[in-house]
Chains A and B, each alone.
Chain A
Amino acid sequence: MDISHATAGDLLAGLDDGSLTSVAIVESCLARIAAENERIGAFLSVDGENALAQAAAIDRRRAAGEPLGPLAGLPVAIKDNLCATGQLATCASRMLSNFRPPYDAHVIERLKAADAVLLGRTNMDEFAMGSSTENSAFQLTRNPWNIERSPGGSSGGSAAAVASGMVPLALGSDTGGSIRQPAAFCGVVGMKPTYGRVSRYGLVAFASSLDQIGPFANDVAGAARLLDAIAGHDPRDATCVNRPATECARRLDEPLSGLKVGVVAEHFIRGLHPDVRSAVETALDVYRDLGAEVIDIHLPHSKYGVAAYYLVAPSEASSNLARYDGVHYGHRAAKFENLLDMYSRTRGEGFGPEVKRRIMLGTYALSAGYYDAYYLKALKVRRLIHDDYAAAFAQVDVIAAPVAPTPPFKIGELIDDPLAMYLSDVYTLGANLAGIPGISIPAGFSRDGLPIGLQLLGPAFSEERLLRAARMFEQATEWRRRRPGDEPSMTRRR
């Protein structure tokens, strides 16, 4: 078996039948990282020795016939904004370059309980703010399919790590598309669960009403297994809903009969790249061939999404990031004149350009005299967008949509034009505003051989059906089998 691109399911089967050991899997990942990470820049840090020790312990327990967790022996990469005791959690920011949290995030506890192997920490846009991973204070991440291109963001490191075969599974966070867009750009599966499905305890907060942790994998089943491992109630996040954990992997291969797939007229607008449009249209044909009914629907307020989102998210960010004051943890300026000056210099030195931009935008939108015109207005539009989705899901089971308006853009292409970068989130941020789940699955390639994703959205708490709908598409297509570096002759094959 080629371990480096094997699915989580194949690896677990190999571990079960004794043909693989967790140590062998981790060694393969480490070899791949040693060979590729300098070029791709997916990982910020890898603790190989520790990962091998975790793997060896699990192998010993397996050999002794002890009961093991559902991800036993599988390596998982962790986005650098998730806290794990004693390990650096930098959020790719100078502000937190030396921060070692004294506790585990809920999802880290869950991964440990599932006997997963924590492999290393992945690069991201600073504090998850960005759509290209170029806002990392530490390093660039490159798209494994073409190193001139962005892997997307903000979870670009996790997506690139899975796409380049460095790890079968990874965690990311999605506030406006930060799992789905990099998954699309890197040709892997990435899912944002329903808001409240996964505890945010131990996720460094960006925009608390929008943030959600979710899985990356090289196939839909891997994403389902990882979601099942991390979902479930946690009283330490008061917004984490009290529902039983998901069991998405169990019936994943059962196709949905009578599936109604919505296609949104407002999505096919100027600015949608022809290759992306064609991939989505082809995907709709795949669903028709599978017996699904494709129904035209409308999300009449979708054109207001970017504006509403880029008021709500920065407002919450400006409030959340007020905690970085150089007192309790993180960077503190070396020179200052008084306490206020210490705060200002600490923050001026510690934050990068995009984080400052969003703090400024949010502070302005919340400031006296502008609160009603900006923040409150945006919250009202958020309601309209939420209601649009509710009306749509009265008609259809899932919505099929583009993930990003274009195939992966070039590194440097949008970084000096913040508004253009924000507009690239147009198809993903609605799910965060509405709180609904969304998944990106490989759905083809551009004429330049770059991956294109298909986004499926479902009503709140419909993850099981959403993943089954995604699995139907994956089974009917060959897209996920192509890997970076393969012959481009496969690009047109469905």
Chain B
Amino acid sequence: MSRAFTRDDVAKVASLARLELSEAELDGYASQLGRILDYVEILDTLDTENVEPMAHAVALANVFRPDEPGTSLSREEALANAPSSDGRYFLVPPILGEV
């Protein structure tokens, strides 16, 4: 998996992550992420062919709760932190006809 991490790579990943980066950030992250990715290549020296991946520290499966109705936030509480709201909905810019 070794290869240089270019400025274009950074721009592509930033676009996937929905992160606007400045020109200076693109350059900085190219070299920093390149160094970090070089470092993690140490993992390639390990044979993990027959190792089960471990996504979680505690093996728990099918954790259910009783299916009982509970209380939820009021509309007012839910909207209280909204950057833009009309008191009924979260407001976002138009999403149809563009993007």
Contacts and interface: CB of A to CB of B under 8 A. Distances in A.
A318 B65 CA distance: 28
Nearest to A355: B19
Interface in B28-86: 29, 32-33, 35-37, 39-44, 46, 48, 51-58, 60, 63, 65, 73, 77-78, 80-84
A332 interface: yes
B46 A304 contact: yes
B58 A360 contact: no
Nearest to B91: A327
B51 A347 contact: no
Interface SS, B side:
loop
Interface in A414-433: 418-419, 422, 432-433
Contact of B33 (A349, A357, A380): A357
Contacts of A303: 42
A373 B41 CA distance: 10
Contacts of B16: 363, 367
Given A102-B77, A327-B90, A377-B43, A386 B57 contact: yes
Nearest to B41: A307
Contacts of A311: 40, 43
Interface residues of B, number: 54
Nearest to A101: B81
A377 B51 CA distance: 9
Contacts of B73: 102-103
B14 interface: yes
A196 interface: yes
A419 B29 contact: no
Contacts of A322: 18
Contact of A433 (B51, B57, B60): B57
Interface residues of A, number: 75
Given A327-B90, A329-B81, A348-B21, A239 B32 contact: no
A100 interface: yes
Nearest to A345: B20
A338 B98 contact: yes
A255 interface: no
B56 A239 contact: yes
Interface of B: 1, 9-10, 13-22, 25, 29, 32-33, 35-37, 39-44, 46, 48, 51-58, 60, 63, 65, 73, 77-78, 80-84, 90, 92-95, 98-99
17 contacts: A209-B57, A238-B63, A332-B84, A336-B93, A338-B94, A340-B99, A342-B93, A347-B20, A349-B20, A359-B17, A360-B33, A363-B17, A376-B53, A377-B43, A379-B54, A381-B43, A386-B54
Given A340-B18, A377-B44, 20 more contacts: A99-B81, A102-B80, A102-B81, A195-B58, A307-B43, A310-B40, A328-B90, A329-B81, A339-B93, A344-B15, A348-B20, A356-B25, A360-B17, A364-B13, A370-B1, A379-B55, A418-B32, A419-B35, A422-B36, A435-B58
